[in-house]
């Protein structure tokens, strides 16, 4: 299960239900996928095919929606 948190500008932001407990979010677009940590700081964890411009755009959207992502994490994982 991978619930979508939000989609914007061609990116889909989501979680995997059975993954590690450290707060993070996955982002997918037509060109690939990436994973970003939200703790202790927002930073790129893994990248599979996104270019630098896409990474910067995804990170900007994560920063813009950080509170929503954190709330969705708490609701989904109960933490």
The 3-state secondary structure of the chain reads CCCEEEEECCEEEECCCCCCCCCEEEEEECCEEEEEECCCCCEEEEEECCCHHHHHHHHHHHHHCHHHHHHHHHHHHCC
**Residue keyed to tokens 């095919």:** 49
Q: What is the pLDDT of residue 18?
A: 79
Number of domains in the chain: 1
Q: Is the pLDDT of residue 3 over 90?
A: no
Q: Could you tell me the residue range of the domain that residue 55 belongs to? A: 4-77
Token reading at 54: 């896409």
Please write the tens of the pLDDT for every residue from 20-71: 889 999 999 999 999 999 999 999 999 999 999 999 999 999 999 999 999 9
What span, in angstroms and rounded, lies between the C-alpha atoms of 46 and 66?
Answer: 18
Q: What is the pLDDT of residue 1?
A: 61
Q: What is the pLDDT of residue 2?
A: 77
pTM of the model: 0.92
């Amino acid at each position: 299960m991978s619930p979508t948190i939000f989609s914007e500008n061609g990116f889909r932001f989501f979680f995997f239900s059975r993954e590690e407990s450290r707060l993070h979010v996955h982002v997918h677009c037509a060109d690939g996928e990436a994973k970003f940590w939200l703790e202790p700081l927002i930073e790129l964890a893994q990248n599979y095919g996104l270019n630098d411009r896409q990474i910067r755009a995804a990170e900007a959207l994560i920063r813009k929606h950080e509170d929503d992502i954190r709330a969705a994490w708490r609701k989904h994982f109960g933490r």
